[in-house]
Structure 1
Amino acid sequence: MRSVRLLVAAAFVLMYTYTFAQSASVTFEAQTRVFRMEGGNVSYAFGINDANELQPLYWGARLSAGDPLGPAHRNQGHASFDLPSGSTLQEFPGWGEGLYYEPALKITFPDGNRDLVLHYVDHAIDGNQLKVRLKDIEREVYVELQYQIDPKTGILARSAVITNKTSAPLMIEEAAAASWSLPNSKDYWLYYLTGRWAGEWNVQHEAIRPGARVLESRRGSTGHQNNPWFAIERGDHHDQDTGDVWFGALAWSGSWRITIQQDVLDQVRITGGYNPFDFGYKLAPGEQLETPVFYGGFTLHGIGGASRLLHQFELARILPQAPKPRPRPVLYNSWEATTFNVTEQGQEALAEKAAKIGVERFVIDDGWFGQRKDDHAGLGDWYVNKQKFPNGLKPLIEKVHSLGMDFGIWVEPEMVNPDSDLYRKHPDWVLNFAGRPRTEGRNQLVLNLARQDVRDFIFGFLDKLLSENDIAFLKWDDNRNWSEPGWPAVAPDEQKEVYVRYMQNLYSILKELRAKHPNVEIEDCSGGGGRVDLGILHYTDEVWPSDNTDPFDRLSIQDGFTYAYTPGVMMAWVTDSPNWVNRRSTSLEYRFLSSMQGSLGVGANLNLWNDEDFATAKHMIEEYKQVRDTVQHGALYRIISPENGSEESVTESVADNHDQAVVFAFLHSSQMGHPFPRVFLRGLDRNAQYRLHWITERPEGHLPESASGAYWMDHGVDLDLRGDFQATAFRLDRMQ
């Protein structure tokens, strides 16, 4: 089968708030036929209306247990042009009965019928999980809606399982994971993320208007152009930490679509799942299709609060090492130093230099395998090149281990060069339309991972590589999108299943590799941020946000990335200056401070460094290790955003226990002698004393050695930043 005014009184309030935020419940009120889900500071409710449809009732700040929410009633429609079936919000609408808005499910039956009307059948509650079964009014087509609410954050996980219990195959033409609904209003503002290669993670912010805004990828992967995340704010607030915000993220790494639609009654619907473009999934009798998971959350604390909730949820529920991911090690990657010209001797020399500055993981990049001298040949031939490594990888690995580092290696398993032994042997293994051209990107084609033989080949060579070598880390790359997404080996009416089966097999490989090699960590990379989503993050420990390593560009790239994803997975390298992207020159200290806002790596050519460079790098890495747990796992506050051409950028990360905070501040260039804005911190314990420690050189001016959390937040800090591309950083440590 195919298959989230007294001391006593004050103490009581604190205790109640903590308990309230940690509890979760799912209930069904039989009299009103209303489901309620509570978690964290969020309530979510929907009911069974008089037409036996599931109708959303409430999603927002947590309500009291006795607050009335039902019963649900079907709307009467809006004139003859908008029927009740469309004007009434539904939890999971099928396309039928005059639905003019985006459906969650669209099916064509063998007789040509395309009308699908889903009604409630039954449900089951198990702790913080709810399953509700729907059925078409006539045919034996069932949809099980799955809900799970997270007790701590109130983030809700939603998905659907579609089952064909008829006697004939049917064709699923559109399948969403969920449809979210907001009450009618004309004051909603949408956030979403756009980009391109080397220019990812641009935050877009616009008013929601009547009609539809479609966010999507048709590329076979998540894509650089849009990311499957959204946030909707009620009112246009200018403070990141105030205001009602609803947000969501789709856990799917293939082609996807999210539609944000405001209807004629100003109701907002958000529907997301598989991209219906070129989509078709043949469901035989007795078979099932399970959608991806669509996560949704709510906060009263603005877009910044939404980010912090999502980060917290990702660390505790999504990542492979959840609920306590270990801090990401400082790594060195040899790509920019050597490109394809890797040799055992050259890599060992770089490893010695990397160890001197405190690097913990040494990674060899492209060029170690097959006949890989450039990007024209060798992909698919995953044997060690004997000219470059006469005795295999083990001598290099042993050298790296002797220097106190673990070893990582680059792979690109899903791709093949036409100039390779693999392609010459199996030209049918790539995505293609029979008799049509096979479009290359970066001189490579995409292996059809939907095929079982391709899936077994990829798992086999990776398993062999990890079994025969002491490898702690895989950098898994994916350097092009799909073209000609054909699958001529199966029947024509099954070929469009490639969009689903490919990703299912990719996830299964990652899952099996992790089970067999539990100490191996994996980075997901796709020409930078081309495949970042909550689906791939369930199987990978970190991601590569962008190939653009310019430290100034990275401020906005990293800022946008953290709207949806935790800094704990955001790899950020220190590379050479001038940077290859813009030919911009910056100091080594500036480059380190930019990268220290995420998971720190070094990718510069260490062979070109002088003694001063090594001393600077060693100092910055030592300082980073003192704050990395706070940076990677703490609460992020965007004090000054680099968006919209801002001359300044300031971030603050605060440890979960409020014992430490770290602040990074950047200046693009001084203008007219204006001073750098005073920095007002957030998230500290107001009554605690914090000692100030400068990561960079202490600036001029009077600054206390220690002060209360109230002082740092209310009085603020003046930073003496003047000039071009200047930066500074400090940390605050709670005094015992």
Structure 2
Amino acid sequence: MSKAVAVLALGVWSVCGSLSIDAKSAKPQAQQAASIHYDEAHRVFRIDAGKITYAFGVNGDGALQTLYWGSRLAQDDPVGPAVPPKSWSSFDSIGANTPQEYAGWGGPITVMPDLKLHFADGNRDLILRYDSYKIDKDGLHISLRDAKANVTVGLRYTVDGDTGIVGRSARIENHATQALTIDSAAAASWNLPPATDYSLRYLTGTWASEWHVRTRQVTPGATVLESRRGSTGDENNPWFAIERGGAWNESHGRVWFGALAWSGSWSIRIDQDVLNQVRVTGGYNPFDFSYRLKPGEALDTPVFYAGYTDAGIGEASRLMHQFETTRVLPQAPRPKLRPVLYNSWEATEFKVNEPEQERLAEKAAKLGVERFVIDDGWFGARNSDHAGLGDWTVNREKFPNGLKPLIDKVHGLGMSFGIWVEPEMVNPDSDLYRKHPDWVLNFEGRQRTEGRNQLVLNLARDDVRDYVFDALDQLLSKNDIQFLKWDYNRNWTEPGWPQLSPEEQQKVYVVYVQHLYDILRRLRERHPGVEIESCSGGGARVDLGIMGLTDEVWPSDNTDPSDRLSIQDGFSYAYAPAVMMSWVTGSPNWVNERQSSLDFRFLSSMQGGLGIGAKILEWTSAEDATAQHYIAAYKDIRATVQQGRLYRLLSPQERAPYSATESVAADGAQAVLFAFLRQGQEAQAYPTLYLQGLDPNARYRYRSIHGEAMPGTPAVASGAYWMSHGIDLKLRSDLDAAGLVFERVGS
């Protein structure tokens, strides 16, 4: 769209937000409409949504400059015009540190650019200037251009009217007559007001020890969160939260937060410059990255989502949870509740066969399980992790008549049927690899490093993408399957693509993930009744990109219920309980040999999507009765747990002895409290728990799933009582737990 046309293009876009629940009163509040407005006189763009305002403008140099991002302003409050920071010295001249929305590397710039490239003729200078805009039902579109280089960057802004979360992405187009190579490309940069008292919160981990919450001061220089592993990775997760003031907690403090929707190698960089400006830049990881664009070609970046709240990190998490369930998940805005699941891995490992799986299914159904999942070992020559990956045909020694008899049995017991797959991998000992050794990531003539006895298929190749899709499509077409547990159990090594020219090979980092998304998207279109779990040796591929195409995720292979308290707590900072699967497995736990009661294991797992992975054929009748009790109780509360508003009351981080969470239903009618004591200390009483998010004027009756309140606790009291007076629980011994349900009985 030309400048002249853009001015006439209805400078305002709006959408009505839905009803939301005020955290203090639990009463429905009419959300303000979201709007995108262009002020032609001051050349300022302004986004108002939820409780935020986001504004940027075109400065005198033609750059797109951030002006404001924070609590919602009045419509007539001024936010412009855009004026670049003054020159600091000859080393930092005017424009060098301008907080640009999307900066090319060129001219006097010293901030981290969003886009760096070079042309075939050696030019590396790129100066992006505002060209035009368009506002439509999909949001705001802005065109930046380097007229001399003939490169354009299309910026897209989307906004969620309920949460105020803004999504940003870029499309880089080569309109020149020569090829160019992109050296680094971000989806967006987010600029915060200048200050010296910011702190950063982020998530780190490793296999079986994911989702640790870390906090550090933001100081001059850079902090880089990243994965160079080919996939999201659990070393860092592509989520951040930044607070100003140093006194932030669950319910207080200004918090800017965001997450990158990308399932490949990624980078989020937090810079503080010489003017104390803080800039968060996220997108493709520039390590080993190169993307060549021939004349007329383009590259689309991932989407970088971000939001703001002045009500603390707890509210930041709740806004993310709401955004994920209503905007990101495949079934949004009303995703299905996660069924109670049984997975056979711990019971049988690779020794799966039809009779044993049928016995497990019969027992699971008696317990109240709703979905039965057969794990690894059902296909090819898969008797261990040394062979069979890639050969997605049923092992007829284990299942002489195929999967149909087992599936029919499971359905006849009233459960849906699921199955494990790892379609992006191949064992060297497989028919697929023997036929197509060139289908894996590799550098020609170099070693091929195995991980878990397997190699990574090069999904960027069209033939590999087509093979994987066809294999899964046939599996789902020939069998009445409702669920895929999609696993991914190693990092990339030797990420070569020998079939392409050397200057094209590093496209693999982008095209691989694009093809992964394409497979998932097409499978969902062909088989709309099938749900999918993203698993990667636990939580190594959890991000808003994969969540847009899968229904649930597996946070960790560590199923120890005490460790899971910390894992699940960290997970909840960025991602919703609606997608978090948690299993009850055996005791002592295989990870650390820790013993725990079945009560503790169930209550720990009931904070997300409940699953069972234990050797249930060995359970006693008393254990069966315990499991039936908790499964029935969970079905009564799962809508609140999975899709309600989560409050973290006591943090289990840093091996703290206590953990407590509360979930409040969207309509405020039910609240569920889980409390855990990892280790009793010197006969100390468990801390008083102060509930949150209830209607202070309504009355709530509590009942126990497990555990007791201290004597004298009223059976019915006002929301104000439970929030201000609190409740004391009888938790004294190691690995003790309680679960209480509060029901609104009147106002």
- TM-score band (shorter)? over 0.9
- The 3-state SS of whatever aligns with 1:90 is coil
Question: Residue by residue, what CA displacement relative to the aligned partner does 1:646-676 show, whole Å, maximum 9, x if unpaired?
Answer: 2111000001110000000000121111100
Does 2:74 match 1:64?
yes
Q: Which of 372, 375, 396 is residue 362 of structure 1 equivalent to? A: 372
Q: In the alignment, is the contact (CA less than 8 A) between 2:709 and 2:727 conserved in 1?
A: no
With over 3 angstroms needed to count, the CA separation of the structure-2 counterparts of 1:395 and 1:17, relative to structure 1, is closer
Equivalent position of 2:5 in the other structure: none
Offset of residue 644 of structure 1: 2.2
In structure 2, the residue matched to 1:561 is 571
CA distance in 1, matches of 2:339, 2:96: 52
1:379 aligns with 2:389: yes
Match of 2:253 among 239, 243, 248: 243
Alignment of 1:551-630 (within 5 A): 551-630=561-640
Give the equivalent residue in structure 1 for 2:518: 508
Name the counterpart of 1:49: 59
Mapped to 2, the partners of 1:97 and 1:553 lie a distance apart of 51
Instruction: Measure, in 2, the Cα distance between the counterparts of 1:459 and 1:76.
Output: 55
The aligned amino acid for 1:542 is: E
Query: 2:26·2:695 contact (CA, 8 Å) conserved in 1?
Result: no
Displacement of 1:393 in angstroms is: 0.1
SS in 2 for 1:195: strand
SS state at 2:735 partner = strand
Structure 2 CA distance for aligned equivalents of residues 431 and 67 of structure 1: 55
The letter of the residue matching 1:518 is P
Letter in 2 for 1:125: I
TM-superposed CA distance for 1:100, in Å, is 2.3
C-alpha change, 1:533 and 1:517, in structure 2 (3 Å) is: same
The structural deviation recorded for 1:643 is: 1.2
Equivalent residue for 1:443?
453
Q: Which amino acid aligns with 1:451?
A: R
Residue 337 (1) aligns with residue 347 (2): yes
How far apart are residue 701 of structure 1 and its match?
1.4
SS at match of 1:530: coil
Residue 525 (structure 1) aligned to one of 520, 535, 556: 535
> Structure 1: which amino acid aligns with 2:440?
V
Matches within 5 A, 1:199-598: 199-237=209-247, 239-598=249-608
Deviations 1:333-366 (A, max 9, x none): 0001100000000000000111111000000000
Aligned CA distance change for structure 1 residues 390 and 14 (closer, same or farther; 3 Å): closer
> Structure 1 CA distance, aligned partners of 2:213 and 2:602?
24
Could you list the per-position Cα deviations for residues 173-223 of structure 1 after superposition, in whole angstroms to 9, with x for gaps in the alignment?
111000000011011110000000000000001111110000000000000
CA distance in 1, matches of 2:28, 2:478: 52
SS of the aligned residue for 1:724 comes to coil
Q: Distance in 1 between matches of 2:362 and 2:604?
A: 25
The alignment partner of 1:18 has SS state of strand
SS at match of 2:246: coil
Alpha-carbon spacing, 1:547–1:15, altered in 2? closer, same or farther (3 Å): closer
Q: Any conservation in 2 of the 1:25–1:128 contact (CA below 8 Å)?
A: no
- In 2, Cα distance between the equivalents of 1:245 and 1:239? 10
Give CA-to-partner distance per residue, 1:357-411, whole Å, 9 cap, x none. 1000000000000000000000001100000000000000000011110100000
The CA distance in 2 between the partners of 1:217 and 1:22, in whole Å, is 38
Q: What is the rounded CA distance, in whole Å, between the counterparts of 1:15 and 1:63 in structure 2?
A: 24
Question: Match of 1:184, SS?
Answer: coil
CA contact (8 A) 1:247 1:298 kept: yes
**Taking structure 1 as reference, are residues 637 and 14 closer, same or farther at Cα in structure 2, changes over 3 Å only?**
closer
Mapped pair 1:140 → 2:150: yes
Q: Deviations over 1:673-717 (max 9, x none)?
A: 110011100000111111111001434512211111111101100
Instruction: Return 5+ residue gaps in structure 2 as ranges.
Output: 1-14, 16-21
User: Does the 8 Å contact 2:582/2:611 carry over to 1?
Assistant: yes
Cα distance in 2 for residues equivalent to 1:17 and 1:190: 32
- Given that 1:688 and 1:735 are in contact with CA atoms closer than 8 Å, whether structure 2 keeps it comes out as yes
In structure 1, C-alpha distance between the alignment counterparts of 2:211 and 2:655, rounded to whole Å: 15
Q: CA deviation at 1:532?
A: 0.3
Does the 8 Å CA contact 2:222/2:272 hold for their aligned counterparts?
yes
112 and 238 in structure 1: CA distance in 2 versus 1, 3 angstrom threshold? closer
Residues 1:193 and 2:210 are matched in the alignment: no
What is the root-mean-square deviation of aligned Cα atoms in Å? 1.5
SS of 1:573's equivalent in the other structure is strand
- Classify the secondary structure of the residue corresponding to 1:310: helix
Q: Assess if the C-alpha contact under 8 Å between 1:78 and 1:87 holds in 2.
A: no
Counterpart Cα distance in 2 of 1:258 and 1:223 = 13
Distance 1:18 1:30 in 2: 33
SS of residue matched to 2:706: coil
Please state whether the residue corresponding to 2:95 is helix, strand or coil: helix
Q: What one-letter code is carried by the residue in structure 1 that aligns with 2:347? A: A
1:31-110 matched pairs, under 5 angstroms: 31-110=41-120
- CA apart distance, 1:236: 2.0
Is the 8 Å Cα contact of residues 174 and 275 (structure 1) preserved in structure 2?
yes
Aligned partners of 1:410 and 1:488: how far apart in 2? 31
Partners of 1:436 and 1:678 lie apart in 2 by 61
The C-alpha deviation readout for 1:413-458, integer Å capped at 9, x for no partner, is 0000000000000000000000000000000000000000000000
Distance 1:234 1:589 in 2: 41
Give the structure-1-normalised TM-score: 0.97
> Any idea what SS the aligned residue of 1:662 has?
strand
Give the Cα separation in 2 of the matches to 1:127 and 1:424. Answer: 51
Structure-2 separation of matches of 1:686 and 1:498: 55
Query: Separation in 2 of the partners of 1:69 and 1:128?
Result: 24
**8 Å Cα contact 1:77/1:88 also seen in 2:** no
- Are the counterparts in 1 of residues 442 and 498 from structure 2 also a CA contact under 8 Å? yes
Shift of 1:16: 13
Report deviation, 1:543. 0.3
Does residue 125 of the first structure (1) align with residue 135 of the second (2)?
yes
**TM-score scaled by length of structure 2:** 0.96
> Given that residues 26 and 694 in structure 2 are in contact (C-alpha distance below 8 angstroms), is that contact kept between their aligned partners in structure 1?
no
1: CA distance, partners of 2:253 / 2:456: 45
Measured in 1, the distance between the counterparts of 2:27 and 2:586 equals 52
> % of aligned pairs identical?
62
Question: Number of aligned pairs?
Answer: 725
| Counterpart AA for 2:305 | Y
What code does the residue aligned with 2:705 have?
I
- Residue of structure 1 in register with 2:11 after alignment: none
Code of the residue aligned with 1:664 in structure 2: it is F
In structure 2, the partner of 1:8 is none
Q: Which runs of 4+ in 1 moved over 4 A?
A: 13-17
3-state SS of paired residue (2:132): strand
Distance 1:17-1:547 versus aligned 2 partners, 3 A rule: closer
| Separation of aligned partners in 2, 1:266 and 1:337 | 56
Cα distance in 2 between the residues matched to 1:697 and 1:108: 65
Contact 2:26 2:667 in 1 (8 A): no
SS of 2:191's partner is: strand
For the residue of structure 1 that corresponds to 2:678, the secondary structure is strand
CA distance in 1, matches of 2:593, 2:627: 21
Aligned to 2:19: none
Counterpart Cα distance in 2 of 1:324 and 1:244:
30
The answer (yes or no) to whether the contact 1:26–1:128 under 8 Å persists in 2 is no
Match of 1:693 among 664, 681, 703: 703
